[in-house]
Amino acid sequence: MTSGEKFKKTDRLLKRPEFLKVQTRGRKHSSKSFIVVLYRNNHGRSRLGVAVSRKFGKSVQRNRFKRLIREVFRKNRDKWPEGHDIVVIPKVVDHAVSYEELAKEFEKIQWKTR
C-alpha cells in the first residue's frame, strides 16, 4: 500500500455535528444495501463517515460493514467528486454482503453523483 492509498484521519468524518450536518443538508442516493449522503465541504478533499446503528446487527456485523465500506472508498477515492463529505448508512438487508457487491453498488452511486 502506498502512502496515497492510506485512509488517514483527515479523510474521515469524526464528530457527531459533522455527521448531522451532512445528513440534514446533503443529497441522498440509495442502493440495495446502503444510502449515501453527499454534502459539499470546504476542505478540498472528500471525507467519509459510516453511520451504523445497532439495528443493523451485533458489533461483528457492524464493524465488518464499516471496514468494507472504508476499503471500497479508499480504493475508489479518485472517482468521487472532490470536496464532499460522504456519509454511508447501511440498510438492514443482508449482513453477508461481499466486498465485490458493495464495490459494484458504490460504483453505481458514484455515477449518479456526477
The pLDDT tens digits for 50-100 are 999 999 889 999 999 999 999 999 888 888 878 899 999 998 777 778 899
> Is residue 57 in some structural domain?
yes
Q: C-alpha cell of 18?
A: 459533522
Distance CA 29, CA 81 (A): 14
pTM: 0.88
Count of domains in the chain?
1
> Is residue 3 in some structural domain?
no
> Is residue 55 in some structural domain?
yes
Longest dimension (CA), the chain: 36
Are 107 and 72 in contact by the 8 Å Cβ rule? The answer is no
In tens, the pLDDT along 50-62 reads 999 999 889 999 9
CATH number for 100: 3.30.230.10
Range of the domain at 50: 8-113
> Is residue 1 in some structural domain?
no
In tens, the pLDDT along 34-45 reads 999 999 998 888
Percent of the chain with pLDDT over 70: 93
